[in-house]
Amino acid sequence: MVFERYIKNYLQEFNRLDRNSWNYEDGCVLIGAGQLYRATGEDFYYDCIKNYIDRYVNEEGNIRGYEKEEYNIDRIPSGLVLFLLYEKTSQKKYLKAIKNLRTQLEHHPRTRSGNFWHKKIYPNQIWLDGLYMGMPFYLSYENLKGGEKGYKDILQQFNHVRSRLYDSEKKLYYHAYDESKQMFWADKKTGLSKNFWSRAMGWYVMALADCLELFPEREKECRKRLAELLVETVDGLLSYQDKESGLFYQLTELGGTKGNYLETSASLMFAYGILKGVRLGVLDEKVYRGKGEEILIGVETNMFSLKDGRLQLTGICKGAGLGPSENRYRDGSVDYYLKEEIVADEQKGVGAAMMVYGEWLLLKKEKPVMPADFPKVEIWNGRY
């Protein structure tokens, strides 16, 4: 039970932290706890979420450390757990906080094509990460209010990313696109960044899988399109999977490049999208389930270690971005991505571990495997 043991130990410490900042990194952990609560029903996970949120959200729904006028799409995803809290408690403060965040999206600046800017300080830029940061919350709000106003907008933003950031030859997505084609990291003809960063695609895969699940059954066009995109993206990624470990490199297509390394958070995000795709019936179980589980085994085998008697999750890129203008070292080059710090126990990697472990538990519950059909499952169940 390596994943479960590690996660529970991590959350016990997480409960005592207060960073005095409403941030998406902690949001990853909260979303992961929500996924585990959904999979297990254990109050431990729900209590972790409520304990955290109640330190940040007051009775008026104001969020400590949140500035709407920043127009930073990264401030949105932590709000996903507010829907769970409101559903469970009916407390108005959670609904007020949800509306607070939704107001940002109403006024958030957009590209000419209609996509949200990544941040106010990144004008005219679409980052692949931003679809995960904004779309599941946006869609959850539309579902809560019982309206369909935003459904076409959400689908349009996915479609525009596909048309602008996808490389049909390599079957991968670039990290970002500058519509103005003025940024120092952007190609002057295409507006694209230079490289394929695995975690950016990890965010995208999770956004596709989560929104596919969130779209109501009646929205057949939206569901069909996201299913197509998920299958296409997963198939493209799997051709770059490291055959020995089952994991993925920091720079997806450059496995043999000196300094490139197997990166934990992206690998886990890919596994999450694959296993959720299987559970939702979009990805063929016999073809893809083993691939998703192979990644989890690869992480357990290669990325967990003991330090001073405590489990830690290693191999996580601390962070990578592009610009702004004053940060010219964030230029999207191979050298840049491979020089960013590699750490252990960082929230983005831990949150992804929690999300995918919860998804695996849900899949196991909803679609028990038959050993005759899935020879690897016997080994997997034996380890867990």
Q: How far is Cα 130 from Cα 74, in angstroms, rounded to an integer?
A: 7
Q: Locate 44 and state its tokens.
A: 């431990």
Are the CB atoms for 348 and 274 separated by under 8 Å? no
| 18 close to 24: Cβ distance less than 8 angstroms | no
Q: Is the dihedral of CA 9, 15, 16, 19 positive or negative?
A: positive
Q: What letter represents residue 158's amino acid? A: F
Catalytic residue, chosen from 26, 74, 129, 178, is 129
DSSP characters for 338-362? Answer: HHS-EESS-HHHHHHHHHHHHHHHH
CA dist., res. 130 & res. 72, Å (int)? 10
Question: Quick check: 265 and 355 in contact, CB under 8 A?
Answer: no
- What are 66's two structure tokens? 């949140």
- The DSSP output letter for 122 is B
Question: Within 10 Å of residue 309's Cβ, how many Cβ atoms?
Answer: 5
To the query of whether residue 129 is one of the catalytic residues in this protein, the response is yes
Rounded Cα distance between 359 and 169, Å, is 31
Neighbours of 324 (CB within 10 A): 15
- Helix (H) or strand (E) segment spanning residue 161: helix 151-165
Closest CA to 358 of 17, 28, 114, 67: 28
* Distant-in-sequence, close-in-space partners of 171: CB < 8 Å, separation ≥ 6: 232, 235, 236, 237, 239
Contact 55, 381 (CB under 8 A): no
H or E segment to which residue 173 belongs: strand 172-173
> How many CB atoms are located within 10 Å of the residue 74 CB?
20
The residues assigned a catalytic role are: 129
